[in-house]
Amino acid sequence: MARRILTALVGAAVTGIGAHAASAATLDDVKAKGFIQCGVNTGLAGFAAPDASGNWSGFDVDYCKAIAAAVFGDASKVKYTPTSAKERFPALQSGEVDVLARNTTWTINRDTALGFNFRPVNYYDGQGFMVRKSLDVKSALELSGAAVCVQTGTTTELNLADYFKTNNLQYNPVVFEKLEEVNAAYDAGRCDVYTTDQSGLYSLRLTLSKPDDHMILPEIISKEPLGPAVRQGDDQWYDIVSWVHYALVQAEEFAITQANVEEMKKSPNPDIQRFLGVEADSKIGTDLGLTNEWAVNVIKAVGNYGEIFDRNIGAGSPLKIERGLNALWNKGGIQYAPPVR
Amino acid sequence: MTTHEASFVRASMVEASPAPVLESGIVFWLRKNLFATPKDTALTIISLLVLAWLVPPAIQWLFIDAAWTGGGRGVCATVEQGGSQPEGWSGACWAFVNAKFSQFLFGRYPMDERWRPALVGILFVLLLVPMLMPKVPYKGLNAVLLLVALPIVATILLPGGWFGLTYVETPLWGGLLVTLVLSFVGIAVSLPLGILLALGRRSDMPVIKMLCTVFIEIVRGIPLITVLFMASVMLPLFLPQGVTFDKFLRALIGVSLFASAYMAEVVRGGLQAIPKGQYEGADSLGLSFWQKMNLIILPQALKLVIPGIVNTFIGLFKDTSLVSIIGMFDLLGIVRLNFSDTNWASAVTPVSGLIFAGFVFWLFCFGMSRYSGFMERVLDRSQR
């Protein structure tokens, strides 16, 4: 109850004060202060986590770097604000962060009532189930009566309740506050089923004592489109954040990588020339309020979408998440960039 | 002098004969303490069995089977888990703590600048240790250095931005550094402020009394987590855009005020325990209010409530972990943050990290507790 009142209070304050904070031109502010303040997760494997020397790294962190590269031509001009699930929206609304790249699900409520703008989805996630193979179930519909480990206070918990209610199944939730508690409880056999977003299931596998004894069920019970969020009412900044993502996706489609971007500038393909801003009289960046080199800078800094994915969460990382829905549109996924023209 | 000639007078004392075997040495100690009655014997045997059941596996897990060195999750995972350890292996992953150790101490403080917090830490220890030893002289100078000079030096060194030092903003601070800065400031502020609040609450002046009471009761009535959350999340919403003031500073103020309110109540307990005669005696000597308090009342009252004061300090030390919810990483926070590093994710990483954090917290709290016991004995001379 206390949590609900607090949420309502924060929500009220956010919507009430949102109006005055929203109209500022973020790009000018960012250029004036010389760096981007980027809201990230307080620790999510593969998305925002500290590396060996304590620097932030991960999928979301690379998006912060990419935006900094687009604006300044220098991916290091970014400062990170780790935000908890409760803090993230007030932090964006109050202007404490310029962009929220924190695996935040795009919902109508957040897009409208909370006063944010989402557009590109940089990671299509969805809630799934992991079970012990010894249970011998093939579908989530056979889970009636199961004990389900779930983290409390998340949309995961609510989706779980909805799913079991819709399908008239009984279940026994075993809830914990901290992720590592849920992981440990599932590993110790305190529940039969573990549910969280699919990306989380992959990181859970790394911490299980017998990963081969577990399987992921085919059902995906929710849509979790994750993407960077900005404040409503600043279209220029919104465009920049959106087009950084599209540029990353487009670069993958053109097979432009961190390594070959300079070479690609000499490509005879007019689409690539236009994209990299080497076409004569190019206005590809100036229309956005950036330099024409912006896409080049982004790719030089972090690589294309596929490279970011592989390095942080995909085949090149311990997580080994498959591309799935996040593959390019012409490779069986739904990552699609509007034409750069 | 005449010498004793008589044969029955001994020239020297008889050597004391050793105590009977059953009344001395280890056998006596065992009999007295462990096997005095059948009930004691039964309890001893049960305890020994429990220890034999718990301790060897714990030592095995913590030390013998532990992975001490290594560069990634492989050393802390079995072959099935994608690592190099044999099937069925389980042991502490100290390699994780080892690899992340400097992060646990300093958080994300830039590598090249870590000599700064290290230097502040050394100065702190050099000043604190003589301060804690009753026999070392120059307590006044020492206190000034510890409570005035050190905070000034730390304010210059830690954030930097002066004298050619690069500016290191507080979101980069973390680990033990944050835990210690928060608790040191909290302790250093809360004791004097708590004493003032306690005196204020017992004051005859209605306005002061009311203000102090209201402050204490409001702050004590709110959970610390709410204070931190309000300071970190709500405050910026009410400030004009662009005006920010440091999140760490907000947490420092929140924690200090919070601890002061608790300290005030502890001290008030001590003040109330002093017999009225002491107050009246001081008054009859013509002492002013502050003379009365400084010379007569507070030395007695504070001595009485040392356990309560240290209790508050220990609580405060552990409460600093709550800053995790506002995105600051204290020791526990940074340990937990590193669980999300996929290069180290394994079944035993979280347990090992938490055991390490718990051990560090225990070291500090146990140290404080032992020291307070020692101070009680030192100050208690008059009562023995």
**Mean per-residue pLDDT of chain A:** 87
Average pLDDT over residues A231-250: 93
User: How many angstroms separate the CA atoms of B167 and B154, rounded?
Assistant: 13
List, for residues A127-157, the tens digit of each pLDDT value: 999 999 888 888 888 888 899 999 876 778 8
Average pLDDT over residues B80-86: 82
- Check CB contact of B84 with chain A, cutoff 8 Å: no
Inter-chain touch B90–A187, beta carbons under 8 Å: no
Enter the tokens of residue A81.
Answer: 């604000």
Inter-chain touch A43–B337, beta carbons under 8 Å: yes
Amino acid at A271: D
Average pLDDT over residues A48-70: 91
Q: How far lies A198's CA from each of A74, A201, B64, in Å?
A: 33, 5, 36
- Check CB contact of B111 with chain A, cutoff 8 Å: yes
- Check CB contact of A330 with chain B, cutoff 8 Å: no
Query: Highest mean pLDDT range out of B116-130, B161-175, B234-248?
Result: B116-130
Predicted TM-score (pTM) of this structure? 0.84
Inter-chain touch B346–A207, beta carbons under 8 Å: yes
CA distance B345 to chain A (A): 6
Terminal Cα-to-Cα distance of chain B (whole angstroms):
45
- Check CB contact of A32 with chain B, cutoff 8 Å: no
CA distance B269 to chain A (A): 32
Inter-chain touch B345–A13, beta carbons under 8 Å: no
Question: Of all helices (H) and strands (E), which one includes residue B165?
Answer: none
Lowest mean pLDDT among A327-336, B104-113, B259-268, B348-357: B104-113
pLDDT for the residue A95: 85
Tell how far CA A45 is from the center of its chain: 12
User: How many angstroms separate the CA atoms of B305 and B301, rounded?
Assistant: 7
Give A328's DSSP letter: B
- Check CB contact of B171 with chain A, cutoff 8 Å: yes
Residues in chain A within 8 Å Cβ distance of B99: 52
Residues in chain B within 8 Å Cβ distance of A209: 78, 81, 90, 347
Inter-chain touch B234–A318, beta carbons under 8 Å: no
Say yes or no to pLDDT of B66 above 70: yes
pLDDT for the residue B261: 93
User: How many angstroms separate the CA atoms of A217 and A199, rounded?
Assistant: 14
pLDDT band for position B162 (cuts 50, 70, 90): confident
Amino acid at B255: V
Q: Which of residues 61-80 of A touch B (CB under 8 A)?
A: 79-80
Please tell me which of the candidates A87, A180, A317 has its beta carbon nearest to residue B327: A87
Enter the tokens of residue B13.
Answer: 């004392």
Say yes or no to pLDDT of A99 above 50: yes
pLDDT for the residue B196: 93
Residue of A nearest to B237 (CA): A94
Angle formed at CA B220 by CA B214 and CA B223, multiple of 5 degrees: 135
pLDDT for the residue B142: 86
Tell how far CA A306 is from the center of its chain: 14
pLDDT band for position B260 (cuts 50, 70, 90): very high
Question: Of all helices (H) and strands (E), which one includes residue B291?
Answer: helix B289-291
Inter-chain touch B337–A17, beta carbons under 8 Å: no
pLDDT band for position B381 (cuts 50, 70, 90): low
Average pLDDT over residues B338-364: 90
Cβ-count burial A68-84 (b if 16+ within 10 Å, e if not): bbbbbbebebbbbbbbb
Average pLDDT over residues B102-115: 86
